[in-house]
Amino acid sequence: IMAQNGTPENGVPADPAALPLPQPCRITDIKHTKLFINNEWHSSAKGKTIPIFNPATGDKICEVEEADKADVDVAVEAARAAMKRGSAWRRMDVSGRGRLLHKLAELLERDRTLLAAGFPPGVVNIVPGFGPTSGAAIASHMGIDKVAFTGSVEVGQLIKEAAAKSNLKRVTLELGGKNPCIVFGDSDLQLAVQEAQKGAFYNQGQCCTAASRVFVEERVYDEFVRLSVESAKKIVAGDPMDPRTSHGPQINQQQFEKILDLVESGKREGAKLECGGHALQDKGLFIQPTIFSDVKDHMRLAKEEIFGPVQCIMKFKSQEEVIERANSTHYGLAAAVFTRSVDRAMSVSSALEAGTVWVNCYNALHAQAPFGGYKMSGNGRELGEYALAEYTEVKAVTIKLSEQLTL
């Protein structure tokens, strides 16, 4: 996830309207559907394929090769060979590796319209997803130093178990979250509404940092709900290939049904549906941006990771109360605090059990700042200097100096 707040200093015009509107990009030809192993395209060992559907239309796009255990073995052996002493990769100098990375960056830039389809304009978010089978298969075959995964807590548990059976190989796990967003009465309410909804509806809520628990101080609660509903009703849903769209479909039918089931649970358990709550159309996997108020801590909406466009707004009275409620979860990935008080911002940020805390903003992630979770939200850190440590072994060499040793 990359920061969305570009500035003139980093090349983004101060006025977004000054940016030229790109034309919708269409997928006309799928060139590669095979497994990419050892810099070559391969058919799967068992000839299995996975059908890929467009979630916006339900149309089948293509079929891609499905990797099995034998394919993973080949890939792992290729990785091991690449890391052996004397290999082409180990002999390549820094400038050579840099050229390859720059080439990758240029290719990503070339296809950014396709890669960013369905995301807010100007934002590219490329996050690898790993299912329980593929993640565990890779982890159980690890003969390499480090592997990083992004996925759910359930997937993370499988990976940790598999890694423990494989000579205790190290893994970095950035997993799920049920992230609290705390809005105090002294905050800039319009800003808090805007940022909280960015957190709730970004990528249709399919984001590990989603702001799915919004705690609002009692004295501004009603106004916050009113402004949030007004804002949600202005969100433009539609074709993710159209740059004017800011709300696209869910990723697949299974997730679509899970979200709607959680929405129904909210209605049954007594939360107040303020807007949305339904599928948008018969064709495609679109769900309306949905807001529930009067959400209670015991409800499924407040406990389970929804991974969908559902904003749960909850009321609190005191700072101590909201800190306790915010931390009352087995997750600990991200959190946010909205207040004009520096003292409150610092004290609450310190008390929250989360790897990342934003103050008066949301999803403001940068390559220089470490990112990762507390508790069941993961192990280790991505980004920043901390990420380099995850991929590095520190070696201590101790030499006893004596007259016999020549320097």
First and final C-alpha spacing in the chain: 49
CA angle 297–206–188, rounded 5-degree value: 65
Residue type, 165: K
- Compute CA distances 241 → 25, 56, 118, 247, whole Å: 6, 10, 7, 11
- Alpha-carbon separation of residue 311 from 164, 200, 359 (angstroms): 37, 6, 19
Contact between residue 214 and residue 316 where contact means Cβ atoms under 8 Å apart: no
User: Distance (Å, rounded) from C-alpha 246 to C-alpha 239?
Assistant: 9
List active site positions. 174
The backbone torsions φ and ψ at residue 217, rounded to the nearest 5 degrees and listed phi first, read -60, 140
Closest CA to 293 of 260, 309, 270, 268: 270
Distance CA 289, CA 201 (A): 7
| Closest among 286, 209, 288, 204 to 253, alpha carbons compared | 286
The DSSP letter of residue 279 is: B
Residues in Cβ contact with 232 at an 8 Å cutoff, skipping those fewer than 6 apart: 197, 201, 275, 276, 289, 290, 291, 311
CA distance 142 to 171: 10
- Cα–Cα distance for residue pair 62/54, rounded to 1 Å: 9
53 membership: H or E segment, kind and range: strand 49-53
Q: What is the DSSP string of 186-237?
A: TS-HHHHHHHHHHHHHGGGG-STT---EEEEEGGGHHHHHHHHHHHHTTPPB
